[in-house]
Amino acid sequence: MRSRPVVLCTLLSVVTFLATGVPTVVASPEPADAGRWRAMAPGPNAATEIERLLDGEGVAPIGAAGEITAQAADDALPGIALDAEPRPPHEVTGTLSATDVRDIYSVWLAEGEQLIVLMTGTGADFDLELWSPDTVSLIVPDIVVESRAAGSSTERVCYTVSPRFGSGRYHIVPTALDDGSGAGSYTFEWNVTSRADGNVPGAPTPLDVTRGRVDALTDANDVFRLPAGPGAAIEVSLVADDPSDTLVLSLYEPDDEALGPTDDIFHGSRVAFLSGADVTLTYAVPAGEDGVYYIDVDALDALDAGYTLTWTASGPNVPGAPVPSARVTESVAAPVLHPLDIPYPAVLRATADGVTTARVELRLLARGTTDIATEKVLASQTGPGDPKNLTWTVPEGGDGLHYLGVTPLVPGDVTTSWSIDVRSLRLAGSNRYQTSVAASRDAFADGSDTVVIASGADFPDALAASGLAGAYDAPVLLTMPTVLPSAVREEIRRLGATRCFVVGGSRAVGGSVLSAIDALPGMTTPVRLAGPDRYATAAAVARQVISRRGPLYDGTVFVARGDGFADALAVSPLAWSAAAPVVLTAPDALPQASAVVLEEIGADRAVLAGGSSAISAAAEGAIVRITGPATRLEGSNRYGTATAVAAWGVNEGLATYRYVGVATGAGFADALGGGVACGKRGGVLLLTDPARLSPPTAATIDAPRAGIARLRVFGGVTAVSASVQSGIDALLR
């Protein structure tokens, strides 16, 4: 495997988090948490800054004739824009001295994106600061993160943009000591990626257990949100895969009197923390302090550390007590809650039956419940006799985490059981453009900073769009060649997108469409990725993916035929999940544009979609001469290939069968947006004949049926018939 540059992202002996305000004193790390990023009092050292300005630093210099000369761009706001040329290597060099104690660079970051910066220098003691978009003064910059390793010029910042500072142009600021003793040169590498789970709002806490990885070099934190009501007793356990890894497990409360609601994990109030390879922390939620808590798993200095996180809760309130199956017998002396993830559309059936003398009441509480004292009851049975039964059909918009509540009338052993009858949901519009909007709304309900646009009139250019969308955590929307459909325009508005990539040349997506997108409020100028043919366009998209991934790119590339659409669509969820490029090939030979880009991006793990009729032995040979041995995923036809691709993705940990999408294999349009939606939900895409459910697809749905929580059918009844959908629902039962 080829070696690649690595951008380090780890924790420092002292790191401060500051907001504009009064001078601050840097606190030392807590003994059990040495090296931890620290939340500090507001403000940088304003007095020192003022002295610098009085000495002539940070102001425009006076020329020989007394005229004001221009400042160097790296000494004034907004600084040098690093993202003006985002192609790797993402490396910057400069010098600092007693008369030039800082340089200013900038990069635009969206909420949820992660910035990684590593700086090394020859000076005695360089520091590294990250300033917020609100910074307007060099005297009192609004510092988000300050990396200050004492006596060292090796500094690191790893920060995921939280709601506290929001989207905007952030400033990367290398600094030297005021006395000039740190004079010398520096180099820093930087990279931006989508890592929304590294800060508030974090990822939804799973029902009982999750596995993850943190890495001090590239992804230091995983954050999970956990709703909790008063009286709930929270217990969280963290076990590292490697007993030699030391991780930090922390619990942050919802609010802080000084700062208000927690909107940045590093500015929040930590109520409990432990470090080690196998730790368990407990916390009882006090009255009046219910709300969304945050669990933080921190890499500290561990590299590529796998972990298992589990939690339980006792007491009468949210978050409830997860159970390992759909049936449990327990002693009930006080109200018990069981969280249930109930999808739309589905039917919940639940039963609670007191054993011997016990008697109970059964209720279903609405999603978003944090306190049973203010609960909203969706269904209940409270009569004198047992068993108690309830049935509830999830309405549109009701998808999510609900709570099944068992309240004892007479304490004792109670058996509670439930079942969730999953049904498929058709995502479709009156045309292919509206169907892409429906897929986007389902998978990107919370919006997206970026949107990828491709032609809905033909497939070649759009086949490579999925990896690009994954790199930017974005949906793919379709457009007509010369007109931006109104439904697509409104979806871009709803997403809140401020960045747009257009895949394909002007014949695929005309200039009038780009102008219409550019005119949307808050939208920056769309970026067109195109080449003289489909292979060169896919190569251009691959380069943009690698530009985004930078040193985080692991060498994986998906290769599919460019003269057909089915195989490329099958890999689209996996390309999205892996943020890996999709390179196209002709069946009989690897095009020059594809060969060049495979070499250029350093691909060393090729996954071929389709059999030898799709990618011949000759084409495969040309690929492996560049990448090394390749993995071929194939079936007897396009439907079999799609199931083989899905199985491989699940085995590789890129997807699960909990979310399954089904689209026609006879057309391309519905699966373009649908495959990306599946990737966003961590699922797979299967293909079917429009008129009958294809046997490989049916077998895949039937085999893991107990694990499928959501199944989406993309396209109208002409794309996937009503009888096919009925057949799918029959398998789900």
Judge if 101 and 168 occupy the same domain.
yes
The token pair at 142 is 């609004």
pLDDT confidence of residue 324: 59
Judge if 449 and 395 occupy the same domain.
no
Question: CA quadruple 354, 358, 364, 366: dihedral positive or negative?
Answer: negative
Distance between CA atoms of residues 161 and 473, nearest Å: 14
Judge if 659 and 683 occupy the same domain.
yes
587 upstream amide cis, omega within 30 of 0: no
Judge if 378 and 452 occupy the same domain.
no
* Domain boundary pick from 421, 455, 481: 421
Q: Closest by alpha carbon to 648, among 706, 555, 582, 570?
A: 570
* Pairing of β 556-561 and β 582-585: parallel
Task: Tell me whether residue 1 is in a domain.
Answer: no
CATH of the domain at 334: 2.60.120.680
Residue 255 near residue 268, CB atoms below 8 Å: no
Task: Tell me whether residue 9 is in a domain.
Answer: no
Task: Tell me whether residue 634 is in a domain.
Answer: yes
Distance between CA atoms of residues 543 and 138, nearest Å: 36
Residue 255 lies in domain: 197-314
Residue found under tokens 């409104």: 490
pLDDT means over runs of 10, the chain (733 residues) = 36 32 28 29 36 36 34 82 77 90 94 93 92 94 92 92 92 85 88 89 81 88 89 92 97 72 85 97 90 92 93 76 75 86 93 87 89 87 90 92 90 92 96 98 94 96 95 97 98 96 97 98 95 98 94 93 97 97 98 98 97 98 97 98 98 94 97 97 97 97 85 97 97 90
Q: Show the DSSP H helices in 235-369 as ranges.
A: none
pLDDT confidence of residue 706: 60
Residue 301 near residue 216, CB atoms below 8 Å: yes
Residue 281 near residue 236, CB atoms below 8 Å: yes
Distance between CA atoms of residues 493 and 487, nearest Å: 10
Judge if 584 and 674 occupy the same domain.
yes
Task: Tell me whether residue 240 is in a domain.
Answer: yes
Task: Tell me whether residue 644 is in a domain.
Answer: yes
Q: Closest by alpha carbon to 292, among 402, 392, 369, 385?
A: 369
Residue 175 near residue 127, CB atoms below 8 Å: yes
Distance between CA atoms of residues 408 and 333, nearest Å: 6
Task: Tell me whether residue 4 is in a domain.
Answer: no
Q: Closest by alpha carbon to 456, among 425, 426, 428, 435?
A: 435
CATH of the domain at 96: 2.60.120.380
Residue 138 near residue 78, CB atoms below 8 Å: no
Burial class (CB in 10 A: 0-12, 13-18, 19+), 7: buried
Task: Tell me whether residue 154 is in a domain.
Answer: yes
Residue 568 near residue 463, CB atoms below 8 Å: yes
Q: Closest by alpha carbon to 453, among 461, 444, 442?
A: 461
Task: Tell me whether residue 3 is in a domain.
Answer: no
Judge if 360 and 401 occupy the same domain.
yes
* Pairing of β 631-633 and β 605-609: parallel
Judge if 225 and 187 occupy the same domain.
no
Judge if 402 and 531 occupy the same domain.
no
* Domain boundary pick from 177, 194, 211: 194
* Domain boundary pick from 387, 421, 455: 421
In angstroms, how far is the first alpha carbon of the chain from the final one?
A: 46
Judge if 344 and 445 occupy the same domain.
no
Residue found under tokens 């008697």: 359
Judge if 558 and 648 occupy the same domain.
yes
For 377, residues 6+ apart whose C-beta sits below 8 A from its C-beta are 363, 364, 365, 366
Distance between CA atoms of residues 654 and 574, nearest Å: 6
* 460 three-class SS: helix
Residue 537 near residue 464, CB atoms below 8 Å: yes
Judge if 180 and 231 occupy the same domain.
no
Judge if 453 and 506 occupy the same domain.
yes
Please count the structural domains in the chain.
4
For 119, residues 6+ apart whose C-beta sits below 8 A from its C-beta are 126, 128, 147, 153, 154, 155, 156, 174, 186, 187, 188
